[in-house]
Chain A
Amino acid sequence: MSRRQAGWLLCLPALALLTLAFLWPMAILARMSLNETSESGMLVETVSTATYVKLAEDAFTWQVTRDSLVLSAGCATSALLLAYPMALFLFRTRSRWRNLLAIAAIAPLLVSGTGRVIGWLAILGDGGMVNAALHAIGLPTQHLINNWTGVRIGLTESVMPYTVLALLAGFGRLDPRLEEAAATLGARPLRAFWRVTFPLTLPAVSAGWLLAFVLAISAFVTPHLMGGGRVFVLATEIYDAATQTLDWPAAAALSIYALVLLLVLMLAHGTLSRRAAA
């Protein structure tokens, strides 16, 4: 057996699983999206682009697309801003608590999405801890849940651990001598960071942002539960079409549309970062 064949053989279990659990359902989904829904709501087996045309003509589709993109980009950016200093600290510290701190940073991953949301309800709800504190110091209370604010907070928190991990992995080759060299050349610490360390972490930042963005745009539980039915994003729309209005062709077409959108964005990201690296 050649090395090449052995390589394929090693990939086989994963390929088989992917085919069974991803590619095959996607094919069914693609087929389903070409069906139509009759006026009475009946599924009509056919091959047409009518469902897509209907989606494209609906202003709501574009509204949801825009909202999803803005929400995910915003959450990815705030997760990155919060994660970057923490990841840099974790990467640099020589403390013996380092591993414990790293585990603490990614601990939210150990809690189920639903459990996390319930925690947020206790904190952000109208009678929650934040509002109780605001009330206690005489400030007006805020609606922090069942709206976009709640979804933004919850989603940022849920993607942040992944951002920390992506950044830590990307920092791997950062040489601490570089900042020392910058210092001996007369650079104040902030300047050394800005001119030397930060540019060198950009690939990690870019990868971390993309990961957070992808996770945020495909998130369902957090927008669904923390939006209180008032926040509409692609994932919740697909869910509603599939389980509430039972319009399967629409749900399928929306899924395919979301997938293509994501692929295009990832390709653009790949091209841009390759160009930046060159």
Chain B
Amino acid sequence: MTHLVLEGLTRAYGGRPVVQGVSLSVERGSLLALLGPSGCGKTTTLRMVAGLEAPDAGRILVEGRDVTPLAPHRRRMGVVFQSYALFPHMTAAANVAFGLEMHGVPRGERVRRAAEALTLVGLADHAQKRPRQLSGGQQQRVALARALAIEPDVLLLDEPLSALDAKLREELRSEMRAIQQRVGATSVFVTHDQAEALAMADMVAVMDQGRIAQLGTPEDVFERPRTPFVATFVGRSARFAGQAEGGAVRAGGMAIHAAGLPATGAVEVFVRPHRIRVLADGDTAENALDGTIAAIDYTGEVAQLQVDTPVGRVPVDVATADGAWRARQPGQPIRLGWRATDTIWFAA
């Protein structure tokens, strides 16, 4: 059931359009990620939903009710800010209880519900600490508890993990997702980190220059990007330009096979590294490319190879478990292959 709807949200700063006609809907209890590079308008969109900025045009509906004219304090939207924005002069418990107090919850119940919210995020033992006595990850959890304590209509998260280091970010990512699902909060999550968006979201809206470039499941936007921008921004890929001709793409003197190609015209081609195999002698593939290893980056689970081929530089991931990657050296010849259906193409 649709819970939150954005209709044609538009916003400009001093004549420069920042958000241009953003429309989308979020199902009850699901998490939507607004994914995009900095300056794409994702945070402005979130701030308009929260009521912290007024749209120039468009509407925001919660359960069919237009909340666009409402001030932020009348919207009941829980917001987790990028900087957390915890009240430094209050304890963690008082921070969490603040929203309840503003909503007129009696003192006793306030204390109980604040304690519950802190327990939910695993900080029951830190209730009496001030924000500055807490680590970054703990502050982030207090911010989440504070936003959830008011039992918000919609939970809005603005890059909530960006200030944390990589290890903690991954931990908190799954923890936040679990909490969000447990309380069933309809959520909008702003991030520039595609891994975060793919891992946490039910739906991903990829934003580019103030517009939604693609709205779909994480798998949709990763495996079936609708625009070259989405293909570039989400995930790595080999990327080259060619000409459609006779059911294949002519590029670098090669014929690259792909599904559903037009009869003719310029096309732009993407191939994801995880779809590319290294071909042993005698192996065949619908698309095969001979190349030379240019660089090898060991990253742990996989070694990332950069291979120079007639169509350009192609990234390939080689699993490291069998140790075979160690035999490969820059300068060696290598043969790569992938299926025709794994060729992603766009009419240029």
Binding site for B on A (CB under 8 A): 175, 177-178, 180-189, 191-192, 195-196, 199-200
Contact = CB atoms under 8 A, between A and B. Distances in A.
Contacts of A180: 50, 52, 72, 79, 81, 85
A184 B87 contact: no
Contacts of B146: 181, 185
Interface string B274-307: 0000000000000000000000000000000000
Interface string B78-90: 1101010111110
A195 B88 CA distance: 12
Interface in B88-108: 88-89, 98-99, 102-103
A178 B75 contact: no
Contacts of B83: 175, 177
A184 B88 contact: no
A191 B98 CA distance: 11
Interface of B: 50-52, 71-73, 75-79, 81, 83, 85-89, 98-99, 102-103, 146-147, 150
Contacts of B150: 185-186
Given A175-B83, A178-B87, A199-B89, A184 B78 contact: yes
Contacts of B86: 181
A184 B89 contact: no
Given A180-B72, A195-B98, A196-B87, A186 B103 contact: yes
A186 to B, nearest CB: 4
Nearest to B97: A185
Contact of B79 (A184, A192, A199): A184
A175 B82 CA distance: 12
B313 to A, nearest CB: 43
Nearest to B74: A186
A195 to B, nearest CB: 7
B81 A187 contact: no
Contact of B52 (A175, A184, A191, A196): A184
B89 A200 contact: yes
11 contacts: A180-B79, A180-B81, A180-B85, A181-B79, A184-B77, A185-B78, A185-B150, A186-B150, A187-B73, A187-B102, A199-B89
Contacts of B52: 180, 183-184
Given A177-B81, A177-B83, A180-B52, A185 B88 contact: no
A181 B102 contact: no
B96 to A, nearest CB: 10
Given A181-B81, A181-B86, A185-B73, 13 more contacts: A175-B83, A180-B52, A180-B72, A181-B79, A182-B87, A183-B73, A184-B147, A185-B78, A185-B99, A185-B102, A185-B146, A186-B76, A187-B73
A188 B71 CA distance: 9
B106 to A, nearest CB: 15
Which of B51, B72, B103 gathers most chain A CB within 10 Å?
B72
Given A182-B98, A195-B98, A188 B73 contact: yes
A142 B319 CA distance: 92
Contacts of A178: 85, 87
A192 B101 CA distance: 12
Contacts of B85: 175, 177-178, 180-181
B309 to A, nearest CB: 49
A182 B102 CA distance: 9
Nearest to B88: A200
Contact of B102 (A177, A191, A199, A200): A191
Contacts of A191: 102
B50 A184 contact: yes
A110 to B, nearest CB: 34
Contacts of A184: 50-52, 72-73, 75, 77-79, 147
Q: Which 8 A-B pairs have the closest CB atoms?
A: A185-B99, A186-B102, A177-B85, A181-B85, A183-B72, A184-B79, A187-B102, A183-B73
Nearest to B82: A177
A192 B99 CA distance: 11
Which of A182, A183, A184 gathers most chain B CB within 10 Å?
A184
Contact of A183 (B71, B78, B89, B147): B71
A187 B72 CA distance: 9
A161 B88 CA distance: 29
A102 B88 CA distance: 28
A251 B133 CA distance: 52
Contacts of A188: 73
Which of A177, A180, A186, A196 gathers most chain B CB within 10 Å?
A186
A9 B298 CA distance: 54
Contacts of A181: 79, 81, 85-87, 146
Given A180-B81, A195-B98, A186 B88 contact: no
Nearest to B47: A180
A181 B147 CA distance: 9
Contacts of B89: 199-200
A183 B76 CA distance: 9
A181 B156 CA distance: 12
Contacts of A183: 51-52, 71-73
A191 to B, nearest CB: 7
A187 B150 CA distance: 12
Nearest to B146: A185
Contacts of A196: 87
A180 B78 CA distance: 11
A95 to B, nearest CB: 13
Contacts of A189: 73
A186 B76 CA distance: 7
Nearest to A184: B79
